[in-house]
Amino acid sequence: MPGYVIDPPAVNAAPIKGTDELFPVRRVYCIGRNYAAHAIEMGHDPNREPPFFFQKNPDNIDFSGEFPYPSQTKDVHHEIELVVALSKGGVNIAIGKALDHVWGYGIGLDMTRRDLQGIAKDMGRPWEIGKAFERSAPMGALVPASQIGHPSSGKVELKVNGKVRQTGDMNQMIWKVPEMISYLSDYFELKAGDIIMTGTPSGVAAVVPGDVMEASVEGVGVLTVRVT
Ligand code: MN
């Protein structure tokens, strides 16, 4: 049997709350502008135009509870998001069947080099430089849907140093979780291990080293991340 010419990269995997089991991550899909108030604060019309997605890399997800301030930026923003973890994939998944594909949920931060993303937007360039950098997706332990069900409403809140910065409710999502899964599956073959970051409510703002971000999603949990 042929061997690898270099060591194969490690699989990044999420801890599962209350167990020593792991959820291996395959792909990370992120939706843009999925809460109307956030679309408005970023200068866009929140009308229900087709959703759009970008990706982070699986190894950008970080479970350490620390976010090292990244290079080449002076404006790093927090975006708290409900995370969806898929237990099975498929193509052309019907909206009514989409939740059957969900293993569980978590809390993630779509950390964004806003200055670099802004330059990319202005120049019509891809967003990776602003979105898909090292450790750009701090995330907490996942919880199975078999325990908490499928949250579709409830508070989403991010505090920095104890002060509320972002607040919203999952019922304000323009595109709901089943719709996102169905839409993505029309364009990509989804598979077990895929993660979807479901967009952020308004109030995104900058962090600096020393800040402590406390992210909570009602019914899912709390994630605390220190900027180092
Ligand atoms: Mn986001």
Lowest mean pLDDT among 5-14, 30-39, 101-110, 167-176: 30-39
CA of 164 to the centre of ligand 1 (A): 18
Distance between Cα 138 and ligand 1 center (Å): 12
Calpha distance 30→4 (Å, rounded): 32
pTM of structure:
0.96
* Alpha helices, H only, the chain: 36-41, 114-122, 128-131, 145-148, 177-187
Alpha carbon of 1 to ligand 1 centroid (Å): 43
| Ligand 1 midpoint to CA 31 (Å) | 6
Q: What's the 199 CA to ligand 1 centre distance in angstroms?
A: 5
CA of 7 to the centre of ligand 1 (A): 32
Structure confidence by residue, pLDDT tens digits, 40-52: 888 887 777 899 9
Residue pLDDT, tens place only, 26-80: 999 999 999 988 888 888 877 778 999 999 999 999 999 999 999 999 999 999 9
User: Distance from the CA of 170 to the center of ligand 1, in angstroms?
Assistant: 14
pLDDT tens-digit series, residues 192-228: 999 999 999 999 999 999 999 999 999 999 999 999 9
pLDDT in tens, 163-179: 999 999 999 999 999 99
The tokens describing 4, both together, are: 């690898």
